[in-house]
Amino acid sequence: MPGEHLDVIIVGAGLSGVGAGARLRLQRPGTTFAILESRGTLGGTWDLFRYPGIRSDSDMFTLGYAFRPWTDAKAIADGPSIRRYIEDTAREYRVDEAIRYHHGVVRASWSSADARWTVRALRGDTGETVLLTCRFLYMCTGYYRYDAGYTPDFEGAGDYEGLVVHPQRWPQDLDLEGKQVVVIGSGATAVTLVPALAGRVGDEGHVTMLQRTPSYIASLPSQDALADRLRARLPARRAYTLIRWKNVLATMASYQLSRRAPRAMKALLRRGLVRQLPPDFDLETHFTPPYDPWDQRLCLVPDGDLFAAVRSGRAEIVTDRIERFTAKGLLLASGEELPADVVVTATGLALRIFGGAAFEVDGHPVDPATTVGYKGMMFSGVPNLAMALGYTNASWTLKCDLIAEYVCRLLDHMDRNGYRVVLPVEPPADVARRPIIDLTSGYVQRAIATLPAQGSRAPWRVHQNYLRDRTLYRRSPLEDEGVAFTP
């Protein structure tokens, strides 16, 4: 039988889970909650990924929490610095006291008769099954698999005599001195890895970024000069707020320019590349994607480190299709063979909603793909549950923090009105459905059939717009056509 009962169970002790716990401490100090974390440490993504050069692909003034200023010098920060920031936040707001490590949630069952969730977790350290109940379940698991990334089935992979490494499982003792390294990929992980590896292969080694399709890449300073000046002259919180808003508005302007005037954005990005790369570099082949900016996520490189690696001669970019692995490397469609001692498959993530846990409502299994998102955080037919889903076109935490505020508002509203249940409902039949994640990236398209949908209008529509969402989550009515409350 279930033992302990809590007001809220948060699943996941990463950036969004720690932020959710801190919001409960700040806005609902009497709420009892626990954070169930399947791994033995907090930090989520920023603890799991340990590959060379791991860093944020958003500025830390917006990836950081609204309630706790980012004070380090670098705006584009390395993974260990981000992990320390999460750890310090958890300690400062006593969130660390609520974390239960090695608790992997395998099933959550809702009972309408009891108006509560029963959560079954398997302890990875002892093998014990733990049952807890809660009034409200808050999923902060992100949307990709922690146990494995995505690697295509490459023909001839069994013939290859070298080492194949996926960044999600990076060996910490890997020595690359003097090695020929091929990084397969063109996304954020690949453009992070290439300059870092170029600094590890030595004078006799070489790094090749092998991409099938180019990505849009922009260079930003790793330190924000205006931020440094503001922090030198203003109180920390005031400076942080101003810098945060400056970066929010700049990111929104960049995204809007990309969507409304893609040719202008392409020209702007190209000018940046011309400044960073040698005059004879083939931009048409290697940096001209066959899609518009922000159809897939734009890659950022701090201080142009990728381009510096290319200029140094220690790294190069090859754009071609892989025909097959050979014993000594990779045979390309063009007929060229790339020699490789080590192949790094920076080929993407495998998406998995709810961290892979199974859900049921009154004994009926929940298929996430049959649900429709409500306000981008709850799902039709699934009571008393929210999920932290961040932005695809801006810092993840910006939206997750707004959702955490909304959850606190929602719980306050239920307490004031004597409600036990909040149930999102499906939109009417005339409201069109569309994918909840609106990107053409391969990692999204591979999983799109397993993900919830969104509706074509409010309150089921997901807006990738921080200004609109501030109004939605902080001021919109808590009772509308998309949700039903039960006393």
User: Which run of H or E residues covers position 271?
Assistant: helix 262-276
User: Which run of H or E residues covers position 247?
Assistant: helix 236-260
In angstroms, the CA 35 to CA 13 distance is: 6
Mean pLDDT for the stretch of residues 446-451? 87
Average pLDDT, the chain: 95
Q: At which residue do the structure tokens 């996430």 appear?
A: 368
Q: What is the pLDDT of residues 223-246, one digit of tens each?
A: 999 999 999 999 999 999 999 999
Query: In the prediction, which pLDDT does 143 show?
Result: 83
SS (H, E, C) 372-395: EEECCCEECCCCCEEECCCCCCCC
Q: At which residue do the structure tokens 């205006």 appear?
A: 226
DSSP state of 426: P
In angstroms, the CA 95 to CA 98 distance is: 5
- State yes or no: cis peptide before 459, omega within 30 of 0: yes
* Residue 6 confidence class, pLDDT cut points 50, 70, 90: very high
Phi then psi for 134, rounded to 5 degrees? -155, 160
In angstroms, the CA 220 to CA 227 distance is: 14
In this structure, CATH architecture of domain 5-147+350-486: 3-Layer(bba) Sandwich (3.50)
> Taking a C-beta distance cutoff of 8 angstroms, is the pair 66, 401 a contact?
yes
Query: In the prediction, which pLDDT does 2 show?
Result: 62
Whether 440 has a pLDDT exceeding 90, the answer reads no
Query: In the prediction, which pLDDT does 1 show?
Result: 52
* Residue 328 confidence class, pLDDT cut points 50, 70, 90: very high
In angstroms, the CA 24 to CA 67 distance is: 12
Query: In the prediction, which pLDDT does 145 show?
Result: 82
Q: What is the pLDDT of residues 132-189, one digit of tens each?
A: 999 999 999 988 887 778 889 999 999 999 999 999 999 999 999 999 999 999 999 9
Q: 2-21 burial string, b = 16+ CB within 10 Å, else e?
A: beeebbbbbbbbbbbbbbbb
Query: In the prediction, which pLDDT does 368 show?
Result: 95
> Taking a C-beta distance cutoff of 8 angstroms, is the pair 82, 56 a contact?
yes
Q: What is the pLDDT of residues 344-355, one digit of tens each?
A: 999 988 888 888
Query: In the prediction, which pLDDT does 297 show?
Result: 86
Query: In the prediction, which pLDDT does 352 show?
Result: 86
In angstroms, the CA 451 to CA 438 distance is: 12
* Residue 81 confidence class, pLDDT cut points 50, 70, 90: very high
Q: What is the pLDDT of residues 367-385, one digit of tens each?
A: 999 999 999 999 999 999 9
Percent of the chain with pLDDT over 70: 100
Phi then psi for 63, rounded to 5 degrees? -75, -25
* Residue 398 confidence class, pLDDT cut points 50, 70, 90: very high
The dihedral through the CA atoms of 183, 187, 191, 196 has a sign that is: negative
In angstroms, the CA 160 to CA 176 distance is: 18
- Distance set, CA 51 to CA 75, 91, 177, 192, 259 (Å): 20, 26, 16, 9, 33
Phi-psi region of 29 (alpha: psi -120 to 50; beta: other; left: phi over 0): alpha
**Domain residue ranges of the chain, discontinuous segments joined by +:** 5-147+350-486, 157-225+267-345
Q: Give the global pTM.
A: 0.95
Maximum alpha-carbon separation in the chain? 71
Q: Please indicate whether the domains covering 5-147+350-486 and 157-225+267-345 agree at the CATH topology level.
A: yes
Mean pLDDT for the stretch of residues 43-56? 94
- Distance set, CA 303 to CA 240, 265, 286, 366 (Å): 22, 20, 20, 46
* Residue 468 confidence class, pLDDT cut points 50, 70, 90: very high
Mean pLDDT for the stretch of residues 17-21? 98
- Fold held by 157-225+267-345: FAD/NAD(P)-binding domain (3.50.50)
What is the secondary structure of 157-218 as a DSSP string?
GGG--SEEE-GGG--TT---TT-EEEEE--SHHHHHHHHHHHTTSTTT-EEEEEESS---EE
Mean pLDDT for the stretch of residues 69-89? 96
